A and B are shown apart, each in its own frame.
Chain A
Amino acid sequence: MTSTKAIESISSSKGSVRSDLRQETLALTRRLFIQLVRRPSTLIAGVVQPLIWLILFGALFSNAPEGLLPGGMSYGRFLGAGVIVFTAFSGALNAGLPVMFDREFGFLNRLLVAPLSSRNSIIFASVIYITSISLIQSLAIMGTAFLLGYGWPGTTGLFVVLLTLLLLVFAVTALSLGLAFALPGHIELIAVIFVINLPLLFASTALAPISFMPVWLGWLAAVNPLTFAIEPIRAAYGGPLDLGLVILHAPYGDLTGYGCLGILIALSIGLFFLISPLLNRKLA
């Protein structure tokens, strides 16, 4: 009797592994979006905060002498790329928080006793969710930057902007999910996010070019992942885009647009392979 029952219950879910994976990933993603719609404050804050950056910082340096920045760019236009990247970055850095709360409240256990076809669906759902939010926020900022007269990247440029953001978001989401499983609780996770967040912004080329920085800070900025995302986007804003051109004069040498994107790709893949054993162990 036992065995016939077991066979019945297996055949009742006759979907293939792939359709099972799709069903569970969609269901988990749907949950995150329902939460977002009913509690939109994080999304709103995530749009408002960068706009404040853009408007306040843009105004702060609006009287800077012309020609100060490379290529005779206005400071507002220079800053736009930095703010877009920073927004996507902090959004992705927070990706681990909902997962951490699920761990703490035991909701994760509900997922873990279910016969998920792959526990990666939990990860996929987070990545889909965070990526969508980051893109919504980035587009809102790009729209506002356009209205403030800081320009628009054009069609090819827009493609490069989105690609760059996707790479960065993927890498940072992986990092954040890894932290969400490695750290004991949300207090610790928030502390780590707090410590990483602003310093990485200031030690990048978001607010000023490397040529303005003391040598040691220039070095930091030139190895900061944010810089490799900021520069291609800035280039996309700077006129006709050619990724083959040198866009970053780092202390260790010049980098082209392709170089920057290549580093981001390597970073994404590297972090993915660093984090996935940890996730597999925790979710095994």
Chain B
Amino acid sequence: MYLIELQDLVKSYGTVKALNGLSLKVPTGSLFGLLGPNGSGKTTTLRILCTLLSPDSGKASVAGLDVVKDPRSVRREIGYVAQEVAIDKILTGFELLQLQGDLYHLEPKDRNLRIAELIEKLEMQSWINRRCGTYSGGMRRRLDLASGLLHRPQLLVLDEPTVGLDIESRTAIWQLLLDLKSQGTTVLISSHYLEEVEALADQMAILDKGRVIAEGKPEDLKERLGGDRVTLKVREFSNENESEKVRNLLVNVRGVRQVVVNCVQGFSLNLVVDDESVLPRLREALDRSKIQLFALSHSRASLDDVYLQATGRTLMDAELAASNQRDVKLENKQAMR
């Protein structure tokens, strides 16, 4: 059973193609993570879902309701927590929640009960009657979560929910999302933090250049990629010759699939191996050639490796590249109506 179905979504801003045939299905009751670097189309996807944008072509539906044909019904089903928290600095948090409740047409009695419930759940008692202008980032995000949850939506959509937050707020929000999921709410988050998606999502999709390049359970994605990862250094700062020599030595060890010299990180060697049984054989090979080992680390395949495999670059590199060509003015314009 799928709560969200997106099919061949295309959306352009002028000459920039933000979405390029994106298709995705989000199972009901899942905590779904959209992972991708900035500019990969995460926010655009969420905006289309929340009826803030219409796609140029393709179909999108929430709970069987078409986002373009029946936007008002879709809005009732969704709680949306946007990336830049838009609050009214002059109102108190309480007044903002009241306003929100009225915009979703809650009965005044029910509205006030629900507000009290969320104030307690999100521990906002001590500051909810202060003006929003005085809130810290964590407070704002909690208030925004509360206003997204006020009308008991069956889908909660969060765009980069923990960007720029302190660790404590981040942990609190993660816990809340996990609680919501266990109570049956479908949660869709976008993130460019690997750890966030790893820690939270039971289903995920990786986005790149406006398309889904991998989709499934995080473990399955890593499993499918196969192999373990080993990072190895013979000296803290090696040189290329030395590393090449070691590389030639290790390529032929049984169980080693691939060895790459990482020029960025002090010519360390990145290996893909079958499993941990290969480690003793690696040490043996180095011993035989009288090469001392400075450091060796072993890990399972990560989501970053999944991304690397599909796009040929790491998420970090993609993030850097995207931030270099970001046009903040254009982004603001896209967000504005």
A interface residues with partner B (beta carbon < 8 Å): 1-3, 5-6, 9-10, 12-13, 15, 20, 23-24, 26-28, 30-31, 34-35, 38-39, 103-117, 184, 282-283
Which A residue sits closest to B98, measured CB to CB?
Answer: A27
Considering only residues 106-124 of chain B, those with a C-beta below 8 Å from chain A are: 106-107, 110
A31 touches B88 (CB 8 A): yes
Complex CA distance for A28 and B101, rounded to whole angstroms: 11
Complex CA distance for A13 and B151, rounded to whole angstroms: 10
Taking each of A3, A20, A31, A115, which has the highest tally of chain B beta carbons within 10 Å of its own beta carbon? A115
Interface hit among B70-78, B175-183, B190-198, B229-237: B70-78
A181 to chain B, nearest CB (A): 8
B86 touches A106 (CB 8 A): yes
Which B residue sits closest to A31, measured CB to CB?
Answer: B99
B56 to chain A, nearest CB (A): 16
What are 22 A-B pairs with beta-carbon distances under 8 A?
A: A2-B1, A2-B3, A2-B154, A6-B77, A9-B76, A9-B154, A10-B76, A13-B107, A15-B105, A20-B105, A23-B105, A24-B102, A24-B103, A26-B102, A27-B98, A28-B99, A106-B84, A110-B100, A110-B147, A112-B52, A113-B50, A115-B76
Taking each of B88, B91, B103, B131, which has the highest tally of chain A beta carbons within 10 Å of its own beta carbon? B103
B interface residues with partner A (beta carbon < 8 Å): 1, 3, 28, 50-52, 63-65, 72-73, 75-78, 80, 82, 84, 86-88, 90-91, 95, 98-100, 102-107, 110, 131, 147, 151-154, 332-333, 335-337
Q: Which residues of chain A are near B106, meaning CB under 8 Å?
A: 12-13
Q: Which residues of chain A are near B51, meaning CB under 8 Å?
A: 112-113
A35 touches B88 (CB 8 A): yes
Q: Which residues of chain A are near B104, meaning CB under 8 Å?
A: 13, 114-115
B28 touches A1 (CB 8 A): yes
A35 touches B90 (CB 8 A): yes
B154 touches A3 (CB 8 A): no
Complex CA distance for A222 and B143, rounded to whole angstroms: 54
A236 to chain B, nearest CB (A): 37
Complex CA distance for A13 and B73, rounded to whole angstroms: 12
Which B residue sits closest to A26, measured CB to CB?
Answer: B102
B151 touches A107 (CB 8 A): no
Complex CA distance for A5 and B3, rounded to whole angstroms: 12
Which A residue sits closest to B148, measured CB to CB?
Answer: A113
Complex CA distance for A13 and B104, rounded to whole angstroms: 8
A114 touches B75 (CB 8 A): yes
Known A-B contacts A2-B3, A114-B75; A108 and B103 likewise in contact (beta carbons under 8 Å): no
Q: Which 3 A-B pairs rank lowest in CB-CB distance, beginning with the nearest?
A: A27-B102, A106-B86, A114-B103
Which A residue sits closest to B102, measured CB to CB?
Answer: A27
A39 touches B105 (CB 8 A): no
Residue of B78, B91, B102 near A113 (CB, 8 A) is B78
Residue of A9, A24, A39, A107 near B86 (CB, 8 A) is A107
Q: Which residues of chain A are near B3, meaning CB under 8 Å?
A: 2
Which A residue sits closest to B157, measured CB to CB?
Answer: A113
Q: Which residues of chain B are near A116, meaning CB under 8 Å?
A: 72, 103
B90 touches A106 (CB 8 A): no
Complex CA distance for A114 and B1, rounded to whole angstroms: 26
B95 touches A34 (CB 8 A): yes
Q: Which residues of chain A are near B332, meaning CB under 8 Å?
A: 104
B253 to chain A, nearest CB (A): 53
A67 to chain B, nearest CB (A): 52
B1 touches A38 (CB 8 A): no
Q: Which residues of chain A are near B65, meaning CB under 8 Å?
A: 6
A120 to chain B, nearest CB (A): 14
A5 touches B63 (CB 8 A): yes
B105 touches A115 (CB 8 A): yes
A113 touches B80 (CB 8 A): yes
Complex CA distance for A106 and B88, rounded to whole angstroms: 10
Given contacts A24-B103, A115-B72, A115-B104, 20 further A-B contacts (CB under 8 A): A2-B63, A2-B154, A6-B63, A6-B64, A6-B73, A10-B73, A15-B105, A23-B102, A27-B103, A30-B99, A31-B88, A38-B90, A38-B131, A108-B337, A112-B51, A113-B50, A114-B100, A115-B73, A115-B75, A283-B337
Q: Which residues of chain B are near A1, meaning CB under 8 Å?
A: 1, 28
Complex CA distance for A117 and B72, rounded to whole angstroms: 8
Complex CA distance for A108 and B107, rounded to whole angstroms: 23
A113 touches B152 (CB 8 A): no
Taking each of A13, A35, A38, A113, which has the highest tally of chain B beta carbons within 10 Å of its own beta carbon? A113
Complex CA distance for A84 and B321, rounded to whole angstroms: 58
Q: Which residues of chain A are near B333, meaning CB under 8 Å?
A: 184
Complex CA distance for A172 and B193, rounded to whole angstroms: 49
Complex CA distance for A169 and B63, rounded to whole angstroms: 44
Complex CA distance for A1 and B77, rounded to whole angstroms: 13
A29 to chain B, nearest CB (A): 11
B86 touches A105 (CB 8 A): yes
Q: Which residues of chain B are near A108, meaning CB under 8 Å?
A: 337
Q: Which residues of chain B are near A26, meaning CB under 8 Å?
A: 102
Taking each of A10, A105, A106, which has the highest tally of chain B beta carbons within 10 Å of its own beta carbon? A106
B77 touches A9 (CB 8 A): yes
Complex CA distance for A112 and B336, rounded to whole angstroms: 11
B62 to chain A, nearest CB (A): 10
Q: Which residues of chain B are near A107, meaning CB under 8 Å?
A: 86-88
Taking each of A20, A23, A26, which has the highest tally of chain B beta carbons within 10 Å of its own beta carbon? A23
B118 to chain A, nearest CB (A): 16
Known A-B contacts A13-B104, A26-B102; A106 and B335 likewise in contact (beta carbons under 8 Å): yes
Complex CA distance for A31 and B64, rounded to whole angstroms: 34
Q: Which residues of chain B are near A3, meaning CB under 8 Å?
A: 63-64
Which A residue sits closest to B332, measured CB to CB?
Answer: A104
B120 to chain A, nearest CB (A): 21
A126 to chain B, nearest CB (A): 15
